[in-house]
Structure 1
Amino acid sequence: MTNPITSTVVVDDGTEIAVHRWDSPVGDLPPVLLQHGFISNTLLEWAGRGMVAALLAAGRTVIGVDARGHGASQKSPDPARYGEERMAADLRTVIARLDVPAVDLVGYSMGSVVSAITASREPLVRRLVLGGTGAGLVELGGVDTRVIPTADLAEALLTDDLSSLPPALAAFRGFADAVGSDRPSLAAQALAAHAGPVDLGAITAPTLVIAGDADPLATRPEVLAAAIPGASLRLVAGDHMTAGGSLEFHTTVIEFLAETQESGS
Protein backbone atom coordinates (compact mmCIF):
# COMPACT_ATOMS: atom_id res chain seq x y z
CA MET A 1 0.00 0.00 0.00
CA THR A 2 1.37 3.42 -0.94
CA ASN A 3 1.64 6.31 1.47
CA PRO A 4 -1.30 8.71 1.43
CA ILE A 5 -1.37 12.18 0.00
CA THR A 6 -1.87 14.31 3.11
CA SER A 7 -3.31 17.81 2.97
CA THR A 8 -4.69 20.32 5.43
CA VAL A 9 -8.16 21.85 5.46
CA VAL A 10 -8.58 25.01 7.54
CA VAL A 11 -12.11 25.07 8.93
CA ASP A 12 -14.24 28.02 10.01
CA ASP A 13 -12.68 28.52 13.45
CA GLY A 14 -9.16 28.41 12.02
CA THR A 15 -8.35 24.85 13.12
CA GLU A 16 -6.16 22.87 10.72
CA ILE A 17 -7.62 19.44 9.93
CA ALA A 18 -5.37 16.77 8.40
CA VAL A 19 -6.87 14.78 5.53
CA HIS A 20 -5.17 11.62 4.21
CA ARG A 21 -6.08 10.33 0.74
CA TRP A 22 -5.37 7.10 -1.11
CA ASP A 23 -6.64 7.15 -4.72
CA SER A 24 -7.81 4.04 -6.52
CA PRO A 25 -7.69 4.14 -10.34
CA VAL A 26 -10.47 1.56 -10.66
CA GLY A 27 -14.10 1.46 -9.64
CA ASP A 28 -16.89 3.98 -10.06
CA LEU A 29 -18.32 4.09 -6.54
CA PRO A 30 -17.92 7.21 -4.37
CA PRO A 31 -14.85 7.70 -2.15
CA VAL A 32 -15.00 6.16 1.31
CA LEU A 33 -14.55 8.67 4.11
CA LEU A 34 -13.18 7.22 7.37
CA GLN A 35 -13.55 8.82 10.82
CA HIS A 36 -11.53 7.21 13.62
CA GLY A 37 -12.21 6.87 17.32
CA PHE A 38 -10.99 8.66 20.44
CA ILE A 39 -7.19 8.77 20.96
CA SER A 40 -6.58 7.10 17.60
CA ASN A 41 -5.98 8.61 14.14
CA THR A 42 -6.36 7.68 10.48
CA LEU A 43 -2.94 6.08 10.02
CA LEU A 44 -3.17 4.05 13.21
CA GLU A 45 -6.79 2.92 13.19
CA TRP A 46 -7.60 2.57 9.52
CA ALA A 47 -4.29 2.16 7.68
CA GLY A 48 -2.43 0.31 10.41
CA ARG A 49 -5.23 -2.21 10.98
CA GLY A 50 -5.83 -3.05 7.34
CA MET A 51 -9.05 -1.27 6.42
CA VAL A 52 -7.41 1.12 3.95
CA ALA A 53 -5.63 -1.70 2.12
CA ALA A 54 -8.83 -3.75 1.98
CA LEU A 55 -10.81 -0.85 0.56
CA LEU A 56 -8.13 -0.10 -2.03
CA ALA A 57 -8.12 -3.76 -3.06
CA ALA A 58 -11.88 -3.41 -3.56
CA GLY A 59 -11.30 -0.48 -5.93
CA ARG A 60 -12.31 2.29 -3.55
CA THR A 61 -10.66 5.68 -3.11
CA VAL A 62 -10.13 6.22 0.62
CA ILE A 63 -10.04 9.47 2.57
CA GLY A 64 -9.26 9.54 6.28
CA VAL A 65 -9.82 12.58 8.49
CA ASP A 66 -7.82 13.14 11.67
CA ALA A 67 -10.28 14.65 14.15
CA ARG A 68 -9.18 17.89 15.77
CA GLY A 69 -6.82 17.17 18.66
CA HIS A 70 -5.82 13.84 17.11
CA GLY A 71 -3.17 12.63 14.70
CA ALA A 72 -1.77 15.36 12.48
CA SER A 73 -4.65 17.78 13.07
CA GLN A 74 -4.25 20.89 15.18
CA LYS A 75 -4.24 20.54 18.97
CA SER A 76 -5.67 22.70 21.75
CA PRO A 77 -6.24 22.18 25.50
CA ASP A 78 -9.48 24.22 25.35
CA PRO A 79 -12.68 22.12 25.68
CA ALA A 80 -14.60 24.86 23.87
CA ARG A 81 -12.84 23.82 20.66
CA TYR A 82 -14.01 20.20 20.86
CA GLY A 83 -17.05 17.96 20.84
CA GLU A 84 -18.51 15.70 18.17
CA GLU A 85 -20.77 18.51 16.93
CA ARG A 86 -17.65 20.52 16.15
CA MET A 87 -15.98 17.49 14.53
CA ALA A 88 -19.07 16.85 12.40
CA ALA A 89 -18.87 20.42 11.12
CA ASP A 90 -15.22 19.78 10.26
CA LEU A 91 -16.20 16.62 8.41
CA ARG A 92 -18.85 18.42 6.38
CA THR A 93 -16.26 21.04 5.41
CA VAL A 94 -13.97 18.26 4.19
CA ILE A 95 -16.84 16.71 2.20
CA ALA A 96 -17.60 20.07 0.57
CA ARG A 97 -13.94 20.52 -0.40
CA LEU A 98 -13.88 17.09 -2.09
CA ASP A 99 -16.32 18.37 -4.72
CA VAL A 100 -17.84 14.93 -5.33
CA PRO A 101 -21.51 13.97 -5.83
CA ALA A 102 -21.53 11.50 -2.93
CA VAL A 103 -19.41 9.83 -0.24
CA ASP A 104 -19.67 6.65 1.79
CA LEU A 105 -18.98 7.36 5.46
CA VAL A 106 -17.52 4.94 8.02
CA GLY A 107 -17.04 5.80 11.69
CA TYR A 108 -15.84 3.92 14.74
CA SER A 109 -16.60 4.73 18.39
CA MET A 110 -16.26 8.52 18.78
CA GLY A 111 -16.04 8.60 15.00
CA SER A 112 -19.45 6.95 14.80
CA VAL A 113 -20.97 9.73 16.87
CA VAL A 114 -19.35 12.26 14.51
CA SER A 115 -20.55 10.28 11.49
CA ALA A 116 -24.14 9.94 12.75
CA ILE A 117 -24.40 13.68 13.36
CA THR A 118 -22.89 14.32 9.93
CA ALA A 119 -25.20 11.90 8.11
CA SER A 120 -28.27 13.39 9.81
CA ARG A 121 -27.50 16.70 8.07
CA GLU A 122 -25.39 15.92 5.02
CA PRO A 123 -27.28 14.77 1.89
CA LEU A 124 -24.07 13.71 0.13
CA VAL A 125 -23.67 10.68 2.43
CA ARG A 126 -24.70 7.74 0.21
CA ARG A 127 -24.09 4.88 2.68
CA LEU A 128 -23.20 4.97 6.38
CA VAL A 129 -21.40 2.56 8.71
CA LEU A 130 -21.48 3.07 12.47
CA GLY A 131 -18.98 0.82 14.24
CA GLY A 132 -18.13 0.33 17.90
CA THR A 133 -21.23 1.99 19.30
CA GLY A 134 -24.66 0.95 20.52
CA ALA A 135 -27.49 2.13 22.73
CA GLY A 136 -25.38 4.92 24.22
CA LEU A 137 -25.71 6.92 21.02
CA VAL A 138 -29.50 6.73 21.30
CA GLU A 139 -29.92 7.09 25.04
CA LEU A 140 -27.07 9.49 25.86
CA GLY A 141 -26.32 11.13 22.53
CA GLY A 142 -22.76 9.90 22.29
CA VAL A 143 -20.14 7.48 23.55
CA ASP A 144 -21.52 5.44 26.46
CA THR A 145 -20.37 7.47 29.45
CA ARG A 146 -22.11 5.05 31.81
CA VAL A 147 -19.12 2.78 31.22
CA ILE A 148 -16.42 5.44 31.48
CA PRO A 149 -17.52 8.87 32.79
CA THR A 150 -15.97 11.73 30.84
CA ALA A 151 -14.66 13.58 33.89
CA ASP A 152 -12.88 10.45 35.10
CA LEU A 153 -11.41 9.90 31.65
CA ALA A 154 -10.12 13.48 31.46
CA GLU A 155 -8.55 13.14 34.89
CA ALA A 156 -6.89 9.86 33.91
CA LEU A 157 -5.37 11.49 30.85
CA LEU A 158 -3.84 14.30 32.90
CA THR A 159 -2.84 12.66 36.18
CA ASP A 160 0.75 11.99 37.20
CA ASP A 161 -0.37 9.24 39.59
CA LEU A 162 -0.89 6.28 37.27
CA SER A 163 -1.03 3.85 40.19
CA SER A 164 -4.44 5.25 41.18
CA LEU A 165 -6.15 4.42 37.89
CA PRO A 166 -8.64 1.54 37.67
CA PRO A 167 -7.98 -0.93 34.82
CA ALA A 168 -10.36 0.56 32.25
CA LEU A 169 -8.99 4.08 32.67
CA ALA A 170 -5.42 2.78 32.82
CA ALA A 171 -5.99 1.16 29.42
CA PHE A 172 -7.06 4.46 27.85
CA ARG A 173 -4.12 6.29 29.43
CA GLY A 174 -1.72 3.57 28.31
CA PHE A 175 -3.05 3.76 24.76
CA ALA A 176 -2.66 7.54 24.69
CA ASP A 177 0.91 7.30 25.94
CA ALA A 178 1.79 4.47 23.55
CA VAL A 179 0.76 6.42 20.46
CA GLY A 180 2.25 9.71 21.62
CA SER A 181 -1.04 11.57 21.80
CA ASP A 182 -1.39 15.13 23.02
CA ARG A 183 -3.10 14.28 26.30
CA PRO A 184 -4.33 17.80 27.18
CA SER A 185 -6.17 17.87 23.85
CA LEU A 186 -7.69 14.46 24.50
CA ALA A 187 -8.78 15.52 27.98
CA ALA A 188 -10.43 18.59 26.46
CA GLN A 189 -12.36 16.37 24.03
CA ALA A 190 -13.39 14.04 26.86
CA LEU A 191 -14.87 17.00 28.74
CA ALA A 192 -16.66 18.23 25.60
CA ALA A 193 -18.04 14.85 24.48
CA HIS A 194 -21.47 15.05 22.89
CA ALA A 195 -24.29 14.31 25.32
CA GLY A 196 -27.42 15.61 23.62
CA PRO A 197 -29.97 14.17 21.23
CA VAL A 198 -28.82 13.11 17.77
CA ASP A 199 -31.55 13.22 15.12
CA LEU A 200 -31.06 9.62 14.04
CA GLY A 201 -34.45 9.58 12.36
CA ALA A 202 -33.17 12.18 9.89
CA ILE A 203 -30.54 9.81 8.52
CA THR A 204 -31.62 8.84 5.01
CA ALA A 205 -28.54 6.89 3.93
CA PRO A 206 -28.72 3.09 4.13
CA THR A 207 -26.92 2.34 7.38
CA LEU A 208 -24.99 -0.59 8.86
CA VAL A 209 -24.52 -0.76 12.63
CA ILE A 210 -21.60 -3.10 13.37
CA ALA A 211 -20.22 -3.94 16.79
CA GLY A 212 -18.05 -6.45 18.57
CA ASP A 213 -19.98 -9.10 20.46
CA ALA A 214 -17.85 -8.44 23.57
CA ASP A 215 -17.64 -4.65 23.34
CA PRO A 216 -18.66 -2.95 26.63
CA LEU A 217 -18.86 0.42 24.86
CA ALA A 218 -21.27 -0.88 22.21
CA THR A 219 -23.87 -2.74 24.24
CA ARG A 220 -27.36 -3.28 22.81
CA PRO A 221 -26.48 -2.14 19.28
CA GLU A 222 -29.91 -3.31 18.19
CA VAL A 223 -31.31 -0.20 19.93
CA LEU A 224 -29.22 1.99 17.67
CA ALA A 225 -30.16 0.05 14.53
CA ALA A 226 -33.86 0.36 15.42
CA ALA A 227 -33.53 4.15 15.80
CA ILE A 228 -32.24 4.68 12.24
CA PRO A 229 -34.76 4.12 9.43
CA GLY A 230 -33.99 0.92 7.55
CA ALA A 231 -30.67 0.26 9.32
CA SER A 232 -29.20 -3.23 9.50
CA LEU A 233 -27.17 -4.77 12.33
CA ARG A 234 -24.15 -7.05 12.31
CA LEU A 235 -22.25 -8.43 15.27
CA VAL A 236 -18.64 -9.56 14.81
CA ALA A 237 -16.25 -11.27 17.18
CA GLY A 238 -14.20 -9.02 19.43
CA ASP A 239 -14.18 -6.23 21.98
CA HIS A 240 -13.83 -2.48 21.49
CA MET A 241 -10.14 -2.65 20.67
CA THR A 242 -10.12 -5.74 18.46
CA ALA A 243 -13.40 -5.88 16.53
CA GLY A 244 -12.63 -3.00 14.17
CA GLY A 245 -9.38 -4.54 13.01
CA SER A 246 -10.75 -7.97 12.20
CA LEU A 247 -11.12 -9.50 8.74
CA GLU A 248 -14.80 -10.09 9.50
CA PHE A 249 -15.31 -6.38 10.21
CA HIS A 250 -13.45 -5.32 7.07
CA THR A 251 -15.26 -7.77 4.82
CA THR A 252 -18.70 -6.90 6.18
CA VAL A 253 -18.13 -3.16 5.77
CA ILE A 254 -16.72 -3.46 2.24
CA GLU A 255 -19.59 -5.69 1.09
CA PHE A 256 -22.14 -3.27 2.53
CA LEU A 257 -20.50 -0.27 0.88
CA ALA A 258 -20.39 -2.06 -2.48
CA GLU A 259 -24.17 -2.27 -2.63
CA THR A 260 -25.86 0.24 -4.88
CA GLN A 261 -29.55 0.01 -4.00
CA GLU A 262 -31.01 3.05 -2.28
CA SER A 263 -32.88 1.19 0.46
CA GLY A 264 -31.27 -0.32 3.56
CA SER A 265 -29.82 -3.80 3.34
Structure 2
Amino acid sequence: MGSVALVHGWGGSFATTWQRSGLTALLEDGGKEVVGVDLLGHGAAPKPHDPEAYNDLTARVFDAIDAASPDEPIEAVGFSLGAITLLRAAIARPDRFSRLVLAGIGKNVIERDQEGATRIVEGLESVIESGEATPAVLADMDHTARLFVQYAQQPDNDIVALAAVMRRASAGELDATLCSAVTCPVLIVVGDQDFVHPADELASWFPQGQCETLRNVDHFATPEAFGFFDATLEFLDAI
Protein backbone atom coordinates (compact mmCIF):
# COMPACT_ATOMS: atom_id res chain seq x y z
CA MET A 1 0.00 0.00 0.00
CA GLY A 2 3.03 2.30 0.14
CA SER A 3 4.48 4.81 2.57
CA VAL A 4 3.04 8.05 3.93
CA ALA A 5 5.07 10.78 5.63
CA LEU A 6 3.45 12.79 8.43
CA VAL A 7 4.68 16.32 9.14
CA HIS A 8 3.37 18.20 12.18
CA GLY A 9 2.80 21.93 12.59
CA TRP A 10 4.58 24.62 14.59
CA GLY A 11 4.76 23.68 18.27
CA GLY A 12 3.85 20.05 17.62
CA SER A 13 5.80 16.90 16.86
CA PHE A 14 5.27 13.52 15.23
CA ALA A 15 4.39 12.09 18.66
CA THR A 16 2.07 14.82 19.94
CA THR A 17 0.29 15.56 16.65
CA TRP A 18 0.02 12.22 14.85
CA GLN A 19 0.69 9.38 17.28
CA ARG A 20 -1.37 10.84 20.12
CA SER A 21 -4.34 11.51 17.84
CA GLY A 22 -4.33 7.94 16.56
CA LEU A 23 -3.87 8.80 12.89
CA THR A 24 -0.68 6.74 12.68
CA ALA A 25 -2.51 3.65 13.91
CA LEU A 26 -5.37 4.20 11.45
CA LEU A 27 -2.96 4.54 8.54
CA GLU A 28 -1.06 1.42 9.59
CA ASP A 29 -4.34 -0.49 9.89
CA GLY A 30 -5.02 0.58 6.29
CA GLY A 31 -1.76 -0.97 5.15
CA LYS A 32 0.43 2.14 5.09
CA GLU A 33 4.00 2.37 6.30
CA VAL A 34 4.18 5.58 8.33
CA VAL A 35 7.25 7.81 8.07
CA GLY A 36 7.42 10.23 11.00
CA VAL A 37 9.09 13.61 10.61
CA ASP A 38 10.07 16.00 13.40
CA LEU A 39 10.83 19.40 11.91
CA LEU A 40 13.93 21.22 13.12
CA GLY A 41 13.20 22.86 16.48
CA HIS A 42 10.52 20.31 17.38
CA GLY A 43 10.14 16.89 18.97
CA ALA A 44 13.30 14.82 18.88
CA ALA A 45 15.01 17.11 16.35
CA PRO A 46 17.77 19.55 17.34
CA LYS A 47 16.44 22.87 18.67
CA PRO A 48 18.82 25.69 17.71
CA HIS A 49 18.01 29.21 18.93
CA ASP A 50 19.32 31.00 15.83
CA PRO A 51 16.51 31.94 13.39
CA GLU A 52 18.87 31.44 10.44
CA ALA A 53 19.02 27.72 11.21
CA TYR A 54 15.37 27.46 10.14
CA ASN A 55 15.62 29.10 6.73
CA ASP A 56 15.13 25.73 4.98
CA LEU A 57 12.78 23.43 6.86
CA THR A 58 12.45 20.96 3.98
CA ALA A 59 15.82 19.28 4.67
CA ARG A 60 14.49 16.96 7.39
CA VAL A 61 11.49 16.07 5.21
CA PHE A 62 13.74 15.02 2.34
CA ASP A 63 16.08 13.14 4.69
CA ALA A 64 13.14 11.12 6.01
CA ILE A 65 11.40 10.35 2.72
CA ASP A 66 14.62 9.63 0.82
CA ALA A 67 15.59 7.10 3.49
CA ALA A 68 12.15 5.48 3.60
CA SER A 69 11.36 5.46 -0.11
CA PRO A 70 14.45 6.27 -2.19
CA ASP A 71 13.11 4.94 -5.48
CA GLU A 72 9.38 5.65 -5.39
CA PRO A 73 7.33 8.82 -4.79
CA ILE A 74 5.66 8.98 -1.40
CA GLU A 75 2.34 10.17 -0.02
CA ALA A 76 2.52 12.86 2.64
CA VAL A 77 0.28 14.63 5.14
CA GLY A 78 1.17 17.96 6.71
CA PHE A 79 -0.53 20.31 9.13
CA SER A 80 -0.02 24.10 9.25
CA LEU A 81 3.76 24.74 9.17
CA GLY A 82 4.19 21.11 8.15
CA ALA A 83 1.78 21.60 5.26
CA ILE A 84 3.63 24.69 4.05
CA THR A 85 6.93 22.83 4.39
CA LEU A 86 5.57 19.91 2.36
CA LEU A 87 4.29 22.32 -0.26
CA ARG A 88 7.71 23.90 -0.62
CA ALA A 89 9.28 20.44 -0.78
CA ALA A 90 6.87 19.37 -3.51
CA ILE A 91 7.57 22.52 -5.53
CA ALA A 92 11.31 21.84 -5.28
CA ARG A 93 11.05 18.12 -6.08
CA PRO A 94 7.58 17.26 -7.42
CA ASP A 95 8.73 13.79 -8.47
CA ARG A 96 9.09 12.75 -4.80
CA PHE A 97 5.37 12.95 -3.97
CA SER A 98 2.42 10.89 -5.22
CA ARG A 99 -0.33 12.49 -3.09
CA LEU A 100 -0.43 15.37 -0.63
CA VAL A 101 -2.85 16.23 2.17
CA LEU A 102 -2.22 19.82 3.30
CA ALA A 103 -4.25 20.74 6.38
CA GLY A 104 -4.58 24.03 8.22
CA ILE A 105 -3.49 26.27 5.33
CA GLY A 106 -5.51 28.47 3.01
CA LYS A 107 -5.66 32.21 2.60
CA ASN A 108 -2.49 32.60 4.70
CA VAL A 109 -0.51 31.13 1.78
CA ILE A 110 -2.09 33.55 -0.70
CA GLU A 111 -1.67 36.65 1.46
CA ARG A 112 0.70 36.37 4.42
CA ASP A 113 -0.46 38.11 7.59
CA GLN A 114 2.86 39.66 8.62
CA GLU A 115 1.27 41.74 11.37
CA GLY A 116 -0.32 38.63 12.88
CA ALA A 117 3.00 36.78 12.77
CA THR A 118 4.67 39.72 14.51
CA ARG A 119 2.09 39.66 17.30
CA ILE A 120 2.70 35.93 17.81
CA VAL A 121 6.45 36.50 18.07
CA GLU A 122 5.88 39.35 20.53
CA GLY A 123 3.65 37.07 22.61
CA LEU A 124 6.30 34.34 22.68
CA GLU A 125 8.98 36.84 23.64
CA SER A 126 6.85 38.17 26.50
CA VAL A 127 6.55 34.62 27.87
CA ILE A 128 10.31 34.08 27.50
CA GLU A 129 10.99 37.32 29.39
CA SER A 130 8.54 36.54 32.20
CA GLY A 131 9.53 32.89 32.46
CA GLU A 132 6.00 31.52 32.16
CA ALA A 133 2.66 32.09 30.43
CA THR A 134 0.85 33.69 33.37
CA PRO A 135 -2.75 34.91 33.00
CA ALA A 136 -1.48 38.49 33.16
CA VAL A 137 0.97 37.88 30.30
CA LEU A 138 -1.67 36.13 28.19
CA ALA A 139 -4.17 38.91 28.80
CA ASP A 140 -2.02 41.35 26.83
CA MET A 141 -2.16 39.24 23.65
CA ASP A 142 -4.76 39.08 20.90
CA HIS A 143 -6.73 35.86 20.45
CA THR A 144 -4.51 34.25 17.78
CA ALA A 145 -1.24 35.04 19.57
CA ARG A 146 -2.69 33.62 22.79
CA LEU A 147 -3.63 30.38 21.00
CA PHE A 148 -0.12 29.96 19.63
CA VAL A 149 1.51 30.71 22.98
CA GLN A 150 -0.73 28.24 24.77
CA TYR A 151 -0.08 25.58 22.11
CA ALA A 152 3.67 26.09 22.61
CA GLN A 153 3.38 25.00 26.25
CA GLN A 154 3.33 21.30 25.34
CA PRO A 155 5.84 19.05 27.19
CA ASP A 156 9.43 19.01 25.88
CA ASN A 157 8.94 22.14 23.75
CA ASP A 158 11.71 24.75 23.72
CA ILE A 159 9.90 28.07 23.49
CA VAL A 160 13.07 29.95 22.54
CA ALA A 161 13.56 27.59 19.60
CA LEU A 162 9.90 27.95 18.63
CA ALA A 163 10.24 31.74 18.65
CA ALA A 164 13.32 31.37 16.42
CA VAL A 165 11.25 29.28 13.98
CA MET A 166 8.72 32.12 13.81
CA ARG A 167 11.49 34.68 13.23
CA ARG A 168 13.13 32.76 10.37
CA ALA A 169 13.66 34.56 7.08
CA SER A 170 10.91 34.19 4.49
CA ALA A 171 11.56 31.49 1.91
CA GLY A 172 9.74 33.61 -0.66
CA GLU A 173 6.12 34.08 -1.64
CA LEU A 174 4.13 31.17 -3.04
CA ASP A 175 1.90 31.70 -6.05
CA ALA A 176 -0.21 29.81 -8.58
CA THR A 177 2.69 29.45 -11.02
CA LEU A 178 4.94 27.78 -8.44
CA CYS A 179 2.14 25.54 -7.19
CA SER A 180 1.27 24.43 -10.72
CA ALA A 181 4.51 22.41 -10.66
CA VAL A 182 2.89 20.11 -8.07
CA THR A 183 1.06 17.80 -10.45
CA CYS A 184 0.13 15.00 -8.03
CA PRO A 185 -3.36 14.99 -6.44
CA VAL A 186 -3.55 17.53 -3.59
CA LEU A 187 -6.22 17.71 -0.87
CA ILE A 188 -6.49 20.90 1.20
CA VAL A 189 -8.33 20.41 4.50
CA VAL A 190 -9.34 23.43 6.59
CA GLY A 191 -11.82 24.09 9.36
CA ASP A 192 -14.45 26.76 8.81
CA GLN A 193 -13.45 28.33 12.16
CA ASP A 194 -9.76 28.42 11.23
CA PHE A 195 -8.13 31.82 10.82
CA VAL A 196 -6.70 30.56 7.47
CA HIS A 197 -10.14 29.71 6.07
CA PRO A 198 -11.14 29.70 3.20
CA ALA A 199 -8.84 27.48 1.13
CA ASP A 200 -10.75 27.10 -2.15
CA GLU A 201 -8.55 29.53 -4.06
CA LEU A 202 -5.39 27.80 -2.86
CA ALA A 203 -6.76 24.42 -3.96
CA SER A 204 -7.40 25.87 -7.43
CA TRP A 205 -3.66 26.58 -7.81
CA PHE A 206 -2.93 22.86 -8.21
CA PRO A 207 -3.65 20.94 -11.43
CA GLN A 208 -5.29 18.21 -9.33
CA GLY A 209 -6.31 20.20 -6.26
CA GLN A 210 -9.44 19.84 -4.16
CA CYS A 211 -10.64 21.33 -0.89
CA GLU A 212 -12.45 19.83 2.09
CA THR A 213 -13.93 22.25 4.64
CA LEU A 214 -14.63 20.92 8.14
CA ARG A 215 -17.63 22.36 9.97
CA ASN A 216 -17.15 23.93 13.41
CA VAL A 217 -13.42 23.13 13.51
CA ASP A 218 -10.71 25.66 14.40
CA HIS A 219 -7.02 25.65 13.50
CA PHE A 220 -5.42 23.61 16.28
CA ALA A 221 -8.33 21.14 16.43
CA THR A 222 -7.92 20.19 12.75
CA PRO A 223 -5.43 17.29 13.03
CA GLU A 224 -7.62 15.60 15.67
CA ALA A 225 -10.98 16.15 13.94
CA PHE A 226 -12.90 13.08 12.78
CA GLY A 227 -13.69 14.88 9.53
CA PHE A 228 -9.97 15.32 8.92
CA PHE A 229 -9.35 11.62 9.57
CA ASP A 230 -12.15 10.58 7.20
CA ALA A 231 -11.05 12.91 4.40
CA THR A 232 -7.39 11.93 4.74
CA LEU A 233 -7.94 8.17 4.91
CA GLU A 234 -10.32 8.24 1.94
CA PHE A 235 -7.97 10.41 -0.12
CA LEU A 236 -5.02 8.11 0.63
CA ASP A 237 -7.16 5.01 0.08
CA ALA A 238 -6.33 3.78 3.56
CA ILE A 239 -9.85 2.64 4.53
TM-score band w.r.t. shorter chain: 0.7 to 0.9
Q: 1:219 to 1:159 in 2, by over 3 A?
A: farther
- Normalization by structure 2: what TM-score? 0.87
Q: Is the Cα–Cα contact under 8 Å of residues 11 and 154 in structure 2 kept in the other structure?
A: no
List gaps (5 residues or longer) in structure 2. none
Structure 2 residue matching 1:248: 3-state secondary structure: helix
Equivalent residue number for residue 184 of structure 1? 160
- Normalization by structure 1: what TM-score? 0.79
Equivalent residue number for residue 58 of structure 2? 88
Moved over 6 A (4+): none
- What do the CA deviations read for 1:1-21 (whole angstroms, capped 9, x no partner)? xxxxxxxxxxxxxxxxxxxxx
Letter in 1 for 2:79: Y
Q: Is the Cα–Cα contact under 8 Å of residues 28 and 34 in structure 2 kept in the other structure?
A: yes
CA distance in 2, matches of 1:254, 1:145: 34
Equivalent of 1:236, from 214, 217, 228? 214
Equivalent residue number for residue 137 of structure 2? 164
Structure of greater relative contact order (alpha carbons < 8 Å, 6+ residues apart): 2
Equivalent of 2:76, from 105, 121, 130? 105
Letter in 1 for 2:236: L
Q: 1:139 to 1:102 in 2, by over 3 A?
A: same
More helix by share: 2
Q: Is the Cα–Cα contact under 8 Å of residues 40 and 46 in structure 2 kept in the other structure?
A: yes
Equivalent residue number for residue 187 of structure 2? 208
Letter in 2 for 1:222: D
Letter in 1 for 2:201: V
Equivalent of 1:45, from 10, 17, 22? 17
CA distance in 2, matches of 1:155, 1:180: 18
List gaps (5 residues or longer) in structure 1. 1-28, 260-265
Aligned pair count reads 225
> Kindly, what percent of the aligned residue pairs are identical?
28
Equivalent residue number for residue 13 of structure 1? none
Letter in 1 for 2:190: A
CA distance in 2, matches of 1:37, 1:103: 19
Letter in 2 for 1:92: F
Equivalent residue number for residue 4 of structure 1? none
CA distance in 2, matches of 1:120, 1:30: 21
Question: Does 2:33 align with 1:64?
Answer: no
Give the superposed CA RMSD: 2.0
Q: Is the Cα–Cα contact under 8 Å of residues 51 and 169 in structure 2 kept in the other structure?
A: no
Q: Report the Cα offset of residue 82 of structure 1.
A: 0.6
Q: Is the Cα–Cα contact under 8 Å of residues 9 and 79 in structure 2 kept in the other structure?
A: yes
CA distance in 2, matches of 1:223, 1:33: 25
Equivalent residue number for residue 116 of structure 1? 87
